[in-house]
Amino acid sequence: MSIRLRILLILLIFIIVTIGLGAGSLLITGKQSQYYTTSNTYLQLRGDLRRASGIFNSMAQSFDYYIFLSQETERHNFSNLKRELTGELNRLSDRSISSKYVSDIRSKTRELNDSYERAMEFISNGNRTRAMEIAHGEVLSRVERIKELFDRKIKLVGTRVEASRTEAVAFRQRITNYFALSFGIVLLIMIFISFNLYRAISGPLKKFAKATDEIGSGNLDYNLKMEKENEFRKIADSINKMQKDLKEYQMKITQMGKMAAVGELSGGVAHEINNPLTGILGNLQRLLIKISPEDANYEIVKKMERAALRCRKIVSNLLEFSRNQTYDYKHYDIHEILEETFGLCETEVMFKNIKVEKKFDRNLPRVRASFRNLQQVFLNIINNAAHAMSEGGTLEIETEKIKKGRKDFLAVRFRDDGEGMPEEVKEKVFEPFYSTKDVGEGTGLGLSISYRIIKNHKGTIEISNSAPGKGTTISISLPL
């Protein structure tokens, strides 16, 4: 699992936990509100039943005062209380939650009212004795039953009030336990993922620290390995690439140092050799004038002259390699330099049956260059390609505009299908005096001089592709 995915997983868990806690809080609040609403409803119902019970008791008392004590004022009070009780019971019957609690009280109250009406009727007819018998009998019995009903209903509603409160507390406790358990599990998961993330980060960081120490101490062969395919693997690959580039730059710097040292040494040696060599060559040429071509020694002296000329050419190359060349920079069409260079070696190329393919981008901008120095580079490369294709072949010359980073470069590629070169030759091909040609056919300075010229142009020259039997590609890049 990648580092990015692990971090996203932790964020996702955090978001889920936050949403879950918020939703849980709303659920608890809503459910508790529901329980407390029910509890308050039953509290109100219990209060209504107690009020109705009080009205009922007052009504029964007023009836007794009227029947047994003949208090006429109580008759009016009794009638008012009876109407008030009827209205209260009707109101409770209209509410769904209280109707089932007052339905039997209501029916019993109707029966009691019938007994009251009969007793009142007997009093109106002057038969108070019969009215008192009804009051002592069925009225008293029904009043006691209704009182018991009120007490039982009030107690039942009170039980429901306590039950609602208990359910609310129990629900809150269950939800609290559930969230505590869920939070604990999520916390353990996050701790596990965080620990795993710590290990996934700390391990590579230790490897990075070791790699920087190794590279900093000069061990450019150290290879940083990352087994897992994640973001650190990409960083490790970048570090390995940087290390490889550093090694290449170090080799190039060493090469440049060697070339500078060789140039300085060869310049001194060339100056020391050049003077006696000039005297030898002059004496040989005077001797050739005095000796007849038919003389047996003429050919020997002629070979000595050719050897001396060969030595003078080597000395000349050494002097050219060692001295600071002058660079007359102007802006040229690169194809103009290539065409003139090709004109200098066209005879040799055609003689060796080499076909030249020009893939020129004629829309390229002009490049800042030293005409003669750059011509020398192209001439060296073409001559080397012709030598590699001794039995004929194809030399492809291509130009195009390329980008390296944010900068534009003009690229010139020389691609031949000659012998090619192995890896060990590619590593040494730009070293001074290194040559794969037979003795007497090359000095080993052509590509070394070319390398220095291109560097002075702030460009690059490299063997971009070569293998034994598959030809060679030399690429030159010049800044635009």
For residue 442, pLDDT beyond 60: no
- Least confident interval from 70-79, 416-425, 428-437: 428-437
**What pLDDT sits at residue 376?**
85
The lowest-confidence range among 14-23, 57-66, 126-135, 404-413 is 14-23
Global pTM reads 0.39
Determine the Cα–Cα distance for residues 11 and 1; give it in Å rounded to an integer.
15
CATH architecture label of 3-190: Up-down Bundle (1.20)
470 or 24: which leads in pLDDT? 470
Cα(301)–Cα(315) distance, rounded to whole angstroms? 21
At residue 347, the pLDDT reads 65
Q: Each residue of 195-222: pLDDT tens digit?
A: 777 777 777 778 778 878 877 777 777 7
pLDDT reported for residue 412: 92
CATH among 3.20.20.70, 3.40.50.10490, 3.30.565.10, 3.40.50.11540 for 326-479: 3.30.565.10
The predicted model gives 167-183 an average pLDDT of 79
pLDDT in tens, 76-115: 888 888 888 888 888 888 877 778 888 888 888 888 888 8
Task: Please provide the average confidence, as pLDDT, over all residues in the chain.
Answer: 78
Average pLDDT value for residue range 25-40:
71
In CATH terms, the fold of domain 228-323 is Helix Hairpins (1.10.287)
Domains of the chain, by residue range, sit at 3-190, 228-323, 326-479
Q: What is the pLDDT of residue 292?
A: 81
pLDDT at site 440? 45
State residue 439's pLDDT score: 45
pLDDT at residue 379 in the model? 85
Q: Name the least confident of 114-123, 156-165, 207-216.
A: 207-216
